[in-house]
Structure 1
């Protein structure tokens, strides 16, 4: 059984995908706390904004690894979310610090619902990706 670069990519993607799942769960819980008035918007945005760029960088990083490993299907699966992240970050509100969430806008009911839906969709994507990477890792290791 040979250990290939593709197998390394899938193992690393599994670990990093687990981190992204944690970020998505934190995102969902944070907006639920905001919706139920458990936390104020300034504290919530101060805890969520530092996680935005690490999430994007981690996702782009392991997608680039799959690109170098010539795992085309995996790259194609990840590109739409990367495109969404880039579009979302490019159209973010004007702020002094990096991040997406502005405390003055986040309490708007439409914005709050959109952010919650975004968190649930990302969680579903990362969970499906996690099991796909697990299956692909086993397939690559067994077929090598």
Structure 2
């Protein structure tokens, strides 16, 4: 139960929000923003599908202190931060 709940708390809202905004941009024919959001939505779907059954989510607490994984998670977080900052200014001035 806890495994599924933890996965739902962290992965599902991000997946649904990004996918919904991507579909809305497609429906409203904002092609540039749709193409900008499409890789991030695909990455979130890929992350959700690739979570092993025994893990508690994307970030397994027993393996998070592994230096290689910690670096890759931090890199992913910084890339997402940059993407959302870019999207903020695009949405603000568009």
Q: Tell me, what secondary structure is at the counterpart of 1:101? A: coil
**Which one has more relative contact order, counting CA pairs under 8 Å at least 6 apart?**
1
1:108 aligns with 2:70: no
1:130 aligns with 2:82: no
How has the CA–CA distance of structure 1 residues 113 and 100 changed in structure 2, closer, same or farther, with 3 Å as cutoff? Answer: same
Alignment correspondent of 2:53: 94
Matches within 5 A, 1:1-144: 50-95=9-54, 99-136=57-94
Contact 1:59 1:82 in 2 (8 A): yes
Cα deviation digits, residues 82-114 of structure 1 (max 9, x gap):
1111122211222375x3121122121111111
Question: What TM-score results when the alignment is normalised by the length of structure 1?
Answer: 0.56
Stretches of structure 1 lacking an aligned partner (at least 5 in a row): 1-45, 137-144
- Dislocated runs of 4+, deviation >3 Å: 46-49
What root-mean-square deviation, in Å, do the aligned CA atoms of Structure 1 and Structure 2 show?
A: 2.2
How has the CA–CA distance of structure 1 residues 49 and 104 changed in structure 2, closer, same or farther, with 3 Å as cutoff? Answer: farther
Structure of larger gyration radius: 1
Question: What TM-score results when the alignment is normalised by the length of structure 2?
Answer: 0.82
